[in-house]
A and B are shown apart, each in its own frame.
Chain A
Amino acid sequence: MKSLEELKAIREKMQGQVSLRGEDHDNTRVVVGMATCGIASGARPVLNTLATLVQEKGLTGKIAVTQTGCIGLCQYEPIVEVMEPGKTKVTYIKMNSEKAAEVVERHLVGGHIVEAYTLSGADIK
């Protein structure tokens, strides 16, 4: 180690991973439906994309990505719910990795809900 910059580089690389182990339950929670229905319709790549991107962008201190069971809307799986403290829950349906990446970029980073993928935005009768 010859300079503070070298140390900083390692620190930043590791920070996203280590801060995943926080205890702060006031975080934004991103929850992926991982029951049989969710897994069958491709929830695992969605979950992994979300988890990876949140770490890469160094957001693990603020956002926790976890799984949940079946919420009863099996035909709309993979479902991703975003719960921000003090805000109404946003439910994204029929997700895939690309859509998940877009949600991270526009919603979690940018703060704008991607209406087109939400349960209320989709044209459901």
Chain B
Amino acid sequence: MTQTDFIVLLPVLVLAGWALVLLLVDLFVPAGRKALTGWLALVGPAGAVLALTLWPNGGALTGFGGMLAADGFAVFLHLLFLGSAALIILLALTYLPRAGIERGEFYVLLLLTVSGMLLMAQAADLIVVFLALELLSIPLYILAGFARPRLSSEESAMKYFLLGAFASGFFVYGVALTYGAAGSTNLNAIVTAAQTGLVQGAAAAQALPVARSLLVAGAALILVGLGFKVAAVPFHMWTPDVYEGAPSVVTAFMSVGAKAGGFAALLRVFVTAFPGLAPQWASLLAILAALTMIVGNFAALRQGNIKRLLAYSSIAHAGYILMALPAAGSSFAAQSDYAVGSALFYLLAYALTTLGAWAVVMAVERQEGDGLALTDYAGLAARRPGLALAMALFMFSLTGLPPTAGFIAKFSLFRAAIDAGYLWLAIVGVLTSLVSAYYYLRVVVLMFMRPGAAQALARPTLDLAVGVTALATLLIGLLPGPLLDLAQRSVLTLTR
């Protein structure tokens, strides 16, 4: 391990290492005071952010023989993952004791899944992508069942595990086919193989033609595997049940972290390794994106449970982000970079808004999974005007109304799609956004207009999380410039 390898891996090392320390420390924390473990867990993300500062500013590093990249793309996503993790820890501090499931392992597993996400953003080799995917997923399977022996939580964990394992199978099969065709699992080597048409690793004298059909089949299987993770139609079936059954704080992290992790891999793998195949996968992905937007939004219309509603909403948003992929497959570097930058920005806006919305859900949720029906939000504005206002802001942002972060993100994404020639996709996006306005605004209507006895918990950490996300949602909506620039610059150093 050279010094460069070390620096490239340092954020993950810090986080995973701290998780191990925490596992040990937790043994000595008495049962009633597990909040201490939670507060200590915050050191992990903070340390990882510090480790990020060691990365060269603007340039790109690779480590472990090209398996890991440390570029702007990874920095942007690292900040997203670490920030989300910190918010989730804040939320868990109040949620876990109330749900009666306060155990120190929660924080350990959370940090471990985050380290999987970090690896996902950095992985430049299909084997590392696969392992990062597992590192991301397995702790989440366990966390989904954290509210054991509540049946719905166990069911959630079981479903998530079985379908996740199934998806991993597809992914590995895809990796195997790709390796068979290209002769390497390294993303750069695969792109070279696709460009030169020669299998990598063979001696020059015995140059072998790349089995293009094998490469396409491999890419398709990888798409299926990652499609499960980001909950894209038709691989979305698990989402509502899993989201509903898992403890809310876990669901919140799933809907943000696991999705962003999946998209990190999708973007890096498809934009880096398979640009030569773009004609084959771009139109397919465009159709998937359209289907995902349509199914997610229309199914959300009928939901009466806030967790299921947000689950379908997360499917719908996966569809919006998927729009960036066909655009990113454009042969013009500028269009492609813009699309990737828009996807990153969308992920950020989506993460902030969704985390905020989940924080409100956790504030309203009562013990034992009670207080999750939409009708439990009736009259919230009268009792907790600040909380209701924040929730309204999140709903507006998810709909994509100005002046919120969601609007800028959607606008940017639609532009990327139109620019790359997918006008019809942008039209589908706009129309489904309109559909989404109906169910998002219904929450707002309930909170502000209907009489009711909605109650919500008030705790400093909860209020802090809601406040931070609400402020960020609004601020990014008003002054998107700096962050958008950052997202756009992040892409230029994506390994090519």
Q: Do the two chains belong together in a single complex?
A: no
Please report B residues at the A interface, Cβ cutoff 8 Å: none
